[in-house]
Structure 1
Amino acid sequence: MTNRTKNSIYSLILIALVAAVWFFRNNDKDEESQEAYFFIAGDAQGTTYNINYLDPKKRNLKNDIDSILHQFDLSLSTYVSNSEIAEFNENDSLTYKSEFFYPVLKKSEEIYKASEGAFDPTVYPLIEAWGFGPKTVDFPDSSKIEDIKQYVGFDLIEFDEKQVIKTKDKVSLDFNAIAQGYSIDVVYDYLTSKGIENMMIELGGELRVAGKNEKGDLWAIGIDDPKQEQNQSSKRVAIIKLENEAISTSGNYRKFFVHEGKKYGHSINPKTGYPIQRDIISATVVAPSCMEADAWSTAFMVTGLEKAKTILKKQKHLKAFFIYEDENGDLKQFSTENLSQNLITE
């Protein structure tokens, strides 16, 4: 999923030297222990994945994981021409072929409603119009955006456990703001089914963890400074410790284009049809599943700070850390109270 709306290129989550740290710490362990603890990596969804897991049975599960991620792409990737979602976008309906399509639709509907439309997978025509899809396009004029908006709205599709149907022609789906997180959950469930209790799964900068790391501590994830230059060494503004949780960060500062001197970020407001101009520039969400963390981090970029705070009072299972600009353009931080125990700011 190269250039996907949310991927590692512009994800703010940093897993600092995962492989190097792992090898360093295991140099002092006996040979049997080294064989039991695995670090595997690979390519998936146009980005990379890294997985750490402790397995007393000493199984290297890379081939199985690669197979799962490949099947996942065949279902939900808009960058795979023969995927299920590509088939739906080209036709009026889709009868599911995989087990992946319905769960992501169901969760999308839930978050669409809870976010009051800030999260909307039918935003795909707008993403394409603004040049953040697979194709290169010219800068859209206002009349084109207004025309496209009539095909955007989650209420323009109907679905059940077997199929999804468009109620209006040209409606298209894009799960790039939720599918990557969901793929991590799928891999997590697979490893859990194999009896793995201690793991860290990272794909494109999003993560889900269980148990403890190889040192016996909680998994600690660094949050990047959104104001640093791309060619600079990564600088952290915070560290979040996870307890059997998932984490995702969305931001606009690494994926954008400039037109006539104005910067346009990749996050599109489904209601206005335009790239968002909000106070939040980095939204990190910790949730029980990575699918939720992924979708909500995108939604909060659209809602802005005050609306996000209101939603978080209702969505008590979520934890959040925002970096935002105040009215003077100064960077400020906001975090939910339920995150404070596991949050270290720098």
Structure 2
Amino acid sequence: MKQVSRRQVIKMIGASAAAGVAWKLGIRNQQSPLVEVSESRVLMGTVVNLTVIGEDEGVAKTAVSATLNHMAHLESILSHHQPTSQLSTLNQQGYLNNASDPLLDLIDQSQQISDMSNGAFDITIKPLVDLYQEHQKNDELPSETAVSTTKQLVNYKNIHINGKNITFAKPEMSITLDGIGKGYIVDAGTAVLHEQGFHNVMVEAGGDLMASGEKDMNQPWQIGVQSPRPQSEAILAKLSLHNQAAATSGDYMQPFTADLSQHHILDPRTGYSAPNLASVTVTAPSVMLADGLATAVTVLGSQAGLNLINRLPHAEAYLVTKTSKVISSAGFG
């Protein structure tokens, strides 16, 4: 998963958990006996914020702790930044026997997004990302030859699953779940809180979030979409969310060049950075889907990206072009 602050274009409006590991109790609403309990912890290379609305402080703390522990467990399976994870083992060996259900499920879900986006989203993009990051150390970009050669390793259809066994069709292939794994883990954390009886919750990781239920009686969770350009602190749109996820991708999060023309959101089909959009925010029923779609739409561009969004039920998108033009789907907001 990604490093701190790479996906913080979505800002929560109002009180949110502070960075680090700290408990924070909300002030009791005079019209409600409910208490707000929040905790923040560094997971997945970013700050994860959990906010739970409940009646009992101690029970809520226990539920939040169990949720964060479960999220950390999933990270230990799905992160290529952890050398002993199942994903790292798969990348090192080119195969993995007896893979865990979360890894199998996430690869399957990723391939479905790849299919629906005609390959604009592809978790086998990792060799290309590694190529660019290696050259970035010397403040340079890879040659056309290097890009063309490395691109031959990128094709999600070359991931073969037989039962619980995963195999890469080509040597030196590798996958990254950075574009979808964080969303998957946020969804899983939300599910744990629901199982513990908490349905009014916000689970957020570096800007990817699930807003479940309400923040207060008849008061939805609110978020803002910030401008993708640092010279502008303006919040471009405000959203009220109820049982809905949101995620953002942007060219500024991992730039390879100062002008942001080359960045980490690479088109798997060309080997080069998506050229047209500065940021894409997607709302969807799950954070995993919003996460993957935000990347896919960025790669596809505004017209093809919105065509994809319009084909999917309960998905909406808010696009900001490189020239700061805003384009959104009909139902966004």
**TM-score in terms of structure 1 length:** 0.86
> What is the rounded CA distance, in whole Å, between the counterparts of 1:209 and 1:145 in structure 2?
39
Could you say if the C-alpha distance between residues 48 and 335 of structure 1 is closer, same or farther in structure 2, counting changes exceeding 3 Å?
same
Conservation of the 8 A alpha-carbon contact between 2:17 and 2:39 = no
For the 8 Å contact 1:11–1:250, the answer to whether it is kept is no
Q: Hey, what's the Cα distance between the residues in 2 that align with 1:295 and 1:213?
A: 26
Matched residue, 2:321: 324
**Residue of structure 1 equivalent to 2:331:** 338
Taking only aligned residues, the RMSD between alpha carbons, in angstroms, comes to: 2.6
* Cα displacement string for residues 58-93 of structure 1 (whole angstroms, at most 9, x for unaligned residues): 311333123212211211111101111110011121
Structure 1: distance between partners of 2:38 and 2:225: 22
Q: Which amino acid aligns with 2:240?
A: K
SS where residue 131 of structure 1 aligns? helix
**From 8, 15, 20, the counterpart of 1:18:** 15
In structure 1, distance between residues paired with 2:29 and 2:192 = 30
Structure 2 equivalent of residue 297 of structure 1: 294
Task: Say yes or no: does 1:37 pair with 2:36.
Answer: yes
Residue by residue over 1:121-177, the C-alpha shift from the partner in whole angstroms, topping out at 9 and shown as x without a partner, is: 0000001001089x9466311111111111100111111441211111111110100
Distance in 2, Cα, partners of 1:262 & 1:221 = 26
Q: Say if 1:24 and 1:53 are closer, same or farther in 2 by CA, change over 3 A.
A: closer
Instruction: Flag the 1:108–1:287 CA change in 2: closer, same or farther, 3 A.
Output: same
1:283 aligned residue: 280
Q: CA deviation at 1:258?
A: 2.3
For residues 223 and 121 of structure 1, do their structure 2 counterparts lie closer, same or farther at Cα, with a shift above 3 Å needed?
same
2:109 aligned partner: 107
Separation of aligned partners in 2, 1:308 and 1:263: 19
Could you tell me which amino acid in structure 2 is paired with residue 191 of structure 1? L
Q: Is the 8 A contact 2:77 2:87 kept in 1?
A: yes
Unaligned 5+ runs, structure 2:
none
Determine the C-alpha separation between the residues in 1 that align with 2:48 and 2:68: 10
- Aligned counterpart, 1:85: 87
Counterpart residue type for residue 67 of structure 2: I
Kindly indicate whether residue 303 of structure 2 is the aligned counterpart of residue 306 of structure 1: yes
Q: Which moved more, 1:57-66 or 1:180-189?
A: 57-66
> Residue deviations 1:296-336, cap 9 Å, x none?
000011000111122123223311111124xxx4x222222
Q: 1:159 to 1:97 in 2, by over 3 A?
A: closer
Of all paired residues, the percent bearing the same amino acid is 25
After superposition, the Cα gap between the structure-2 partners of 1:241 and 1:127, relative to the gap in structure 1 and judged at 3 Å, is: same
For residues 2-151 of structure 1, what are the structure 2 equivalents within 5 Å? 2-3=2-3, 8-19=5-16, 26=27, 29=30, 33=33, 36-58=35-57, 59=59, 60=61, 61-131=63-133, 136=137, 139-151=141-153
Secondary structure (helix, strand or coil) at the match of 1:258 reads coil
d(CA) in 2 for partners of 1:132, 1:8 = 21
User: 5 Å matches for 1:88-237?
Assistant: 88-131=90-133, 136=137, 139-214=141-216, 216-229=218-231, 234-237=233-236
Superposed, 1:235-250 pairs within 5 Å as 235-250=234-249
> How far apart in 1 are the matches of 2:98 and 2:218?
42
Structure 2 CA distance for partners of 1:25 and 1:168, relative to 1, 3 Å: closer
Distance 1:75 1:20, change over 3 A: closer
Q: Secondary structure at the match of 1:152?
A: coil
Distance in 2, Cα, partners of 1:68 & 1:241: 28
Q: What SS class does the counterpart of residue 18 from structure 1 fall into?
A: coil
Secondary structure in 1 matching 2:82: coil
The 1:254/1:166 distance shift into structure 2, 3 A limit, reads closer
Matched, 1:265 2:239: no
Conserved in 2, the CA contact under 8 Å of 1:111 and 1:295? Answer: yes
Asked if the contact 1:80/1:86 (under 8 Å) is kept, the reply is yes
**Cα offset, 1:238, TM superposition:** 0.4
Q: In 2 relative to 1, CA 132–318 (structure 1 residues): closer, same or farther, beyond 3 Å? A: farther
